[in-house]
Amino acid sequence: MNFQWTNHNRHIRTSRIIAVLLILLIIIAIIVHNNLASLNGEGGLQQSHRSRSKLELRSEDERLFTAPNLDDEIRKLSKVKASVNNELRDMESRRHQLQSQMSRYQMEIDGMRSTQDNLEKEIKLLRLSLDQLSLQKEELDGKYLPILRAPQRILMGDNSNDNLSNTSSSRSCQMYSCFDYSRCSILSGFNVYFYDPFQYTLHAPFVKFIKMSVISSLAINPYITKDPSKACLFVVLVGQLESSEENSKSLENFLKTLPHWHGDGRNHVIINLMQDYNGRDMFGNVDTGRAMLVQSPFIESKFRHKFDIIVPPSMGKAEGDVWEELPMISPIRRTYFLSFWGQFRGVISQNSAKIEGLDDKNGGKSKEILESSILSQVESVVVSALKDIQSVDENEFFVKFSCDSVGPGAINGEWSICGTDLQRKDLLIKSTFSLILAPANTSYVSSTVFQLRLYESLKHGAVPVILGDYVELPFSDVLDWTKAVIILPKARASEFYFILRTYTDNSIAELRQMGRYYFETYFGTSRSIINTVLAILRTRLSMPARPIQDVPSPNVFNSTNMQPLAEGTEINSETDEVLGPLELPFSSMKFKQNFTQHVSYESFSKVGYPFELFPYTPFEKALPSDAKYAGSGFGFRPIGRGWGGAGKEFSEALGGNFPREQFTIVMPTYERDDVLISALQRLKGLPFLNKVIVVWNNPAPPSPIIKWPEIGVPIKVLKMPKNSLNNHFLPFDAIETEAVLSIDDDAHLRHDEIVFGFRVWREERDRIVGFPGRFHAWDVKTNSWYYNSNYTCELSMVLTGAAFFHKYYSYLYTHVMPQAIRDKVDEYINCEDIAMNFLVSHITRKSPLKVTSRWTFRCPGCPQTLASDNSHFEERHKCVNFFMRVYGYMPLLYTQYRVDSVLFKTRLPHDKQKCFKYI
């Protein structure tokens, strides 16, 4: 029992101990739970527990139950938890930032992928369009372009067969029957072989001036070749011989001994220039075969129309400008209304049916030179009419039928010249009209005295009045003499005075101006005569003129000295308008010389430089001398309206019939680098700009520290051999566009102003179109012209410091304009802009065009300007008067016309502005 009780008691005690322990454990668990709950409310240890391993948690629990100070541990744990939470928040913030950046990058990648897809589609479309255009071009080429093959050249050897048409007599020669075209292939280049007069001479009394001037002219002619096997023409210069059987035989033997005569003289040109009054037709009794003759006098039976060539006598200089020898065109009405001075070589008989000749030098009587009495009677009527006219007003007419000293050279039945050269010059300068009587001896189609009278009348500005429409005038197959000479039949002898009285001042001025132009271009020098002869022959053969070469563009920088470029030049167009597309540079369409030479184009003026700078669009129909021929491949093209559309389409197409075109800026500079760089920077983003050419007039090269701006188009800096304002207008080969904008480096123009000026120029391609206007005026105190720069409602010049012009005028300025003008520009270092205005107005007979711009665009802070010099305006006054003297008249024309934008400062509704962007 006791044992059982004891066991029972033990059992009870054990149960109690277990129950107490359970209660303690429950209490401790509750306390720990409450502490942990409180810790979670303050930040807790949950995150700390999660970051620890199970072993650490178990150790921590044991430490908590066994730690003597539970509160200290809890505080430590709270601090740890707070630190961990801070770290977690920082990590979470960085995670959100990275996610935001990734989102942005993803969006950019998606945008770039979309752009790439669009570009790839555009590239595919463009490639497809190019393929289609290539196919269309091939189809058009195959459809419209003929298959061309160069003609074969047949070189004529010593034993060449006569493949020309059989001609009974050389007197009936024409180009088709007596000229061997096989030697003159279209691709041969019109080669001319000149027999050296020192080696091939007739031992005749050569006039030294004629001999040396012809040699010097042909020595520099571009068509001369030293290889006779390649020659198309063979030129022979002969001396002046007296008409005799012995001399004729000697001349004929001389011609037959020429190494390339080949029996009949085919393709040979025999030149006989006259410089004295005794010139006669020295080939009257000479068998010249199929050779062409070039001289002043011709017997009617010997002259072959459209084959032989009548030339004026070479009485002037060998070469060079002749303007100093010519009088002014004004005043129009001179001291004498009409003048004539001559003595008839023969006997005029109103009752006879003939004109009896005087004794010739051999002492024998001349045979009858006229079988009809008509011309004899007409000659008497002319004399009678002149005497009646003189009796009306002796002070207005100068008519004399005799002279103290009779000049030699007149043929029987011709009016001899009287007086000395100075006396005739003084008379003609005072005469409005000069009467020239054709020889009554109709066996001559031209005589030396007749040609001399015409020569002197044109030279001294007396309008020639020719009575006798049966004579041949020099170069008559290419020159329109009705523009410079009044030609009447002798049957109008009693009425010609009435006809002359009907001519107005304007008509007389036009005749005199054209006569001066003919003389300067074709008569004035031996060189112009020779070159015109070759030009006529080349034209007969339908061979294009050899073009003149562009001026090389010597770049300042080379492969070892590269042009340094600045970085990041910003666009500063000073306007928010859409002015046009920014395109890659492309050249203007080139019209190379082809064989469509007879396509009619409107002439720019009645007075213009007539050389074939552009043979397909000549200023004049008259054929000029090849000495002034040129061809750049650029040509004037008629511009009309069309293809413009509304504002957006117009901006993209530029308007006009040619939608795509660009211009080249030519900018001269001298020792002001900062101003130049600023000017170039302002050009970035300029629509329709092809390239910028900087004319570097400074003898020193550009400084290596200069940073040339990147403006989207090439900038070519050209080194000039000398500092000259004439360099502004050189036809550089780097200029590949028809339009040239000449602009000073100190000119400040907005982009919209430049584009507007370009649009206007496209409608007026033959004019100077620009911004600064000036005018000339007459000073009654000094009886001279002066230059004026005041702002007025009238102008006659647009300065090329900011102006558009055609590249054509660069050729004219450099190669054709009288050298004296360029020399004057170099002398004053001034007036090149005035010279260009004179040139263009002289050619076109039109005034320049001024377009709208701000009142001033000069650079106020520029270190050097020519206009700041006190002598600047004095020099410009002198230039105006000097240039007027060179041209013989004042070519500048006044205008009160200015071109403004159609929508200039026009208020437009907001919804309509997109349709009206510009003009």
Which residues form the catalytic set? Answer: 833
In sign, the C-alpha dihedral spanning 616, 618, 624, 625 is negative
Q: What is the dihedral of CA 316, 319, 323, 326, to 10 degrees?
A: 0
| Residue 64 to residue 557: CA distance in whole angstroms | 88
Q: What is the dihedral of CA 693, 698, 702, 705, to 10 degrees?
A: -120
| Residue 471 to residue 485: CA distance in whole angstroms | 13
| Residue 11 to residue 693: CA distance in whole angstroms | 120
Residue 88 and residue 96 in contact, taking contact as beta carbons nearer than 8 Å: no
**What is the chain's Cα-based Rg?**
47
In sign, the C-alpha dihedral spanning 751, 753, 754, 760 is positive
Q: Which residue in 453, 493, 443, 459 sits closest to 473, CA to CA? A: 453
| Residue 708 to residue 74: CA distance in whole angstroms | 75
Q: What secondary structure does DSSP assign to 136-177, as a single string?
A: HHHHHHHHHS----PPPP----TT----SPP-S-GGG--HHH
Q: Parallel, antiparallel, or unpaired: how do β-strands 343-345 and 414-416 relate?
A: antiparallel
Cβ burial of 121 (10 Å; 0-12, 13-18, 19+) is exposed
Q: What secondary structure does DSSP assign to 721-770, as a single string?
A: SS--GGGGG--BTT--SSEEEEE-TT----HHHHHHHHHHHHHSTTS-EE
DSSP state, residue 113? H
| Residue 380 to residue 362: CA distance in whole angstroms | 28
Q: Which residue in 765, 754, 608 sits closest to 688, CA to CA? A: 754
Using CA atoms, how far residue 327 sits from 436, 508, 835, in Å, is 20, 15, 20
Residue 843 and residue 619 in contact, taking contact as beta carbons nearer than 8 Å: yes
Residue reference for tokens 């939470």 = 85
> Helix 819-828 and helix 872-887: axis angle, to 10°?
170
Q: Mapping DSSP to helix (H, G, I), strand (E, B) and coil, where does residue 60 land?
A: helix
> Helix 421-429 and helix 448-460: axis angle, to 10°?
50
Q: Which residue in 271, 308, 273, 310 sits closest to 292, CA to CA? A: 308
Using CA atoms, how far residue 105 sits from 97, 111, 652, 744, in Å, is 12, 10, 36, 49
Burial 222-235 (b: 16+ CB within 10 A, else e): bbbbeeeeebbbbb
Residue 325 and residue 337 in contact, taking contact as beta carbons nearer than 8 Å: no
Which residues make beta-bridge pairs with 341? 400
